[in-house]
Amino acid sequence: MANCDIYKMYELKGVLPGASQLHVQLWDKDTFIFDDLIGETVIDLENRFFSKRWRNLGYKPIESR
């Protein structure tokens, strides 16, 4: 499997407190066979949003998973 860089940004609206876990999956697209799961991760948005340390950061780091 070749290494690849994927640069895509999505902005989603949410309400906190509330359902706070963002489940992200990356799938390939196949024409004749089933699509394959490439990777997945879970990000806890509420934990980060209510963290004083996170809110006090002037520049929020970009996450790569």
Tell me the per-residue pLDDT of 2-37, one tens digit each, with 9 for 90 and over: 677 777 777 777 776 777 788 889 888 888 889 899
Q: Is residue 50 part of a domain?
A: yes
Q: Is residue 34 part of a domain?
A: yes
Query: What is the predicted pLDDT for the residue at 65?
Result: 56
Count: domains in the chain: 1
Q: Is residue 3 part of a domain?
A: no
The rounded Cα 31 to chain-centroid distance in angstroms is 26
pTM for the full predicted model: 0.54
Greater confidence (4 vs 42) lies with 42
Q: Is residue 37 part of a domain?
A: yes
Q: Is residue 5 part of a domain?
A: no
Q: Is residue 9 part of a domain?
A: no
Range of the domain at 34: 21-56
Q: Is residue 1 part of a domain?
A: no
**Residue 50: band (very low, low, confident or very high) from pLDDT cuts 50, 70, 90:** confident
Neighbours of 15 (CB within 10 A): 7
Q: Is residue 11 part of a domain?
A: no
